[in-house]
Amino acid sequence: MFAERGLHGVSMDDVARAAGVSKPVLYDHFGSKEQLYEAAVLLAAEELAVSLQQAAEAQPDPERQMWQGIQTFLDAVEDHPDWWLLTRQAAQIGEGRLAGLGSRSHQISTDAIARMFSTAAQRAESDALSGALELLAQAFVGACATVAQWWIAHPEVPKQTVALTLMNMLWMGFGDLAKMNLWLPPADEGEPR
């Protein structure tokens, strides 16, 4: 219901009725509507991160891990749009107890991706990634989030097309880094190499 109507469009009475429990039971477990919303957002983010990590870990190399992770992410957006909508809504809350919720939700995904990138860098014995794992994870999660938002608005585009586009865009950068193929500015720009 939060995904469909947002935080302010849902009452504890609505949730209690839908869950088949009394309103006092909800307050016993969550304390307030904001705490219930927070729990729902964080659970959605954690479930998405776990599903991504499990799918990727089953693959033998970084390239296949990324491909499987992208497909799993897009499956989740398609199969559980409520997870996606909930985490996107949370990113827009800027006041009160929930002000940092979107960032915390985003960080759950970023941490999972950074762990996968770390494993990939270790397997490839690549030092090129070691100092930039958090930055790469932020870029990866941000790109996937933006593409998912676009795809929701353009459902006529096949999921496979979206997955291939994301993979090509992201693997071209990450794959080269894993192989220690770095772009550096020309020496004449005065930048240290």
126 occurs within a structural domain = yes
CATH of the domain at 75: 1.10.357.10
Instruction: Dump the DSSP string for 94-120.
Output: -SGGGTTHHHHHHHHHHHHHHHHHHHH
Instruction: Dump the DSSP string for 61-85.
Output: SHHHHHHHHHHHHHHHHHH-HHHHH
Range of the domain at 131: 42-180
16 occurs within a structural domain = no
140 occurs within a structural domain = yes
The one-character DSSP state at 185 is -
Looking at the 3D structure of the chain, how many domains does it have?
A: 1
As a whole number of angstroms, the distance between CA 14 and CA 105 comes to 24
As a whole number of angstroms, the distance between CA 180 and CA 193 comes to 14
57 occurs within a structural domain = yes
Render each residue's pLDDT in the chain as its tens digit; 193 residues. Answer: 888 888 889 999 999 999 999 999 999 999 999 899 889 888 888 888 898 888 888 888 888 888 898 999 899 889 887 777 777 777 777 677 777 888 888 888 888 888 877 776 666 666 656 667 778 888 888 888 889 888 988 999 999 999 999 998 888 877 776 666 777 788 776 555 5
- Pull the structure tokens for residue 131: 């100092």
